[in-house]
Structure 1
Amino acid sequence: EWTFTILGFITPYVILFAWYYLSGQDLAHNWEMIRYNFVHDRATGFLNNYYLAFYAYLLLVILLASRKMLSKYQKLKIYIRKFYQLNFWIFAFVLIPFLVIYSRAIEMIYFLAIPVSYVLSYYFFNMRFRLAAEIIFGLLLAGYGVLLVFN
């Protein structure tokens, strides 16, 4: 099973280097370009204090929402559980490369929007105290507004 996974990962690179070789391109230069994409650290100047505070608050709300959803996980319907599992794996497969690969880009966060919006909507919809939900959501929107104004 792992053999097919590794072969599936390597096959595009074999085809790419075969194309480079057959077309007479410089393999060493092209290999350096590919390697550069995996190890080059892009500037993170866009992550100023406002962004860090907003993402810290968003992470706190996501953790609270995930905790609430996991506590009621066994009571959920089967299709909602499967959808939650799918969203969890989407979240994991996007977040892990974002944290591990050095050539990450802020655009990868867009793919996190689907599972995060699912968890947050479940959290806000199922909160007992509507006022608390409105305050938390209002702070989230206000934080985003601060980002738009001060950045």
Structure 2
Amino acid sequence: MVDAPLIDLELITPEATVLAATPEMVVVPGSEGEFGVLRDHAPVLSSLRPGIVQVHATFDAEPECYFVTGGFTEAGPAYCLILADTAVPVSEIDVGAADQAVAEAEEAVREAGTGTDEAARERAEHALEIATARRAAAG
């Protein structure tokens, strides 16, 4: 079997480089939907929505998964650069804490919905989107 060509991947947050690897494929939660990045990918720049970055060392291997809260990705023929607001291995997400975050975010949305502060309502809805996605990622 011929090895598939690899891409250079970096997953970076403001605090650290979370992952530097050379997988066969990466699946990214783009703001317009998930997309896969393989060798010889057309150049693309996309914002990220809260979701899971799937890193496939090989096509037939289980992916290494990271939850990201947002950010940007740039991909080209031989690389994928992910600049995430935050990134955590899915295996490290505490389900109980994720459930609590969803409940708190839902309450914040309810409270913000009763006022006239549009910005507060939007922040609460964004926090709920992140909390819900984190809970879904936890399984």
TM-score by length of 1: 0.30
Higher helix share: 1
Higher RCO, 1 or 2 (CA under 8 Å, sep at least 6)? Answer: 1
Q: Given the two structures, how large is their TM-score scaled by the length of structure 2?
A: 0.32
- Whose strand fraction is larger, Structure 1's or Structure 2's? 2
